[in-house]
Amino acid sequence: MEADIIKALDFNLIFNTAYHFFDPFCKIADYDQKKFYLAQYTLELALMDLKFLKFKPSMLAASTIFLINKIKRAEVVWPDVLMAASGYEEKELKSCARELCQLLEQTDSMTSIKCLKRKFSLPKYYEVSKIRL
């Protein structure tokens, strides 16, 4: 039966992930490398946590950008150009961004992410996993 479904779909099983939206959003936000890696670290943490499955991939990517802009005290946290590109207003992102922030605050007590923390503690990633909020 599964083979019939795949054949009917002409083997077209591609679906969008948060990364599909993340890179364009970072480019629109004109992120430097350090902000990009901090956002990437945040997004990768979320992708390892099942509770973030309730969010659409585009919402997760947009909320990550929103949160990093807040953390870095951007002059405009959610500019119109990002709102137009993502289709999300600031108020729609706040719930997901709040959960992302809580996730970042809990990283010290999470043993399941040692490899991710080690990766983002390297100088080539600007040691973003060592940043304290």
* Tens digit of each residue's pLDDT (9 = 90 or more) over 78-118: 999 999 999 999 999 999 999 999 999 999 888 888 999 99
More confident residue, 109 or 72: 72
Q: Is residue 8 part of a domain?
A: no
Domain range for residue 40? 16-130
pLDDT in the model for residue 28:
96
Residue 2 in this model has a pLDDT that exceeds 80: no
Q: Is residue 64 part of a domain?
A: yes
- In this structure, is the dihedral angle defined by the CA atoms of residues 80, 85, 90 and 94, taken in order, positive or negative? negative
Q: Is residue 4 part of a domain?
A: no
Q: Is residue 56 part of a domain?
A: yes
Q: Is residue 101 part of a domain?
A: yes
Q: Is residue 7 part of a domain?
A: no
Predicted TM-score (pTM) of this structure: 0.89
Number of domains in the chain: 1
Q: Is residue 3 part of a domain?
A: no
For 95-100, which contacts have Cβ atoms below 8 Å and span 24 or more sequence positions? Answer: 96/52, 96/55, 96/59, 96/60, 96/63, 97/63, 97/64, 97/66, 97/67, 97/70, 99/51, 99/52, 100/42, 100/45, 100/46, 100/63, 100/64, 100/67
CATH number at residue 33: 1.10.472.10
Burial class of residue 44 in the structure, from the number of CB atoms within 10 Å of its CB (0-12 exposed, 13-18 middle, 19+ buried): middle
CB-based contact 34:126 (threshold 8 Å)? yes
Q: Angle between the 57-71 and 18-28 helix axes, to the nearest 10 degrees? A: 40
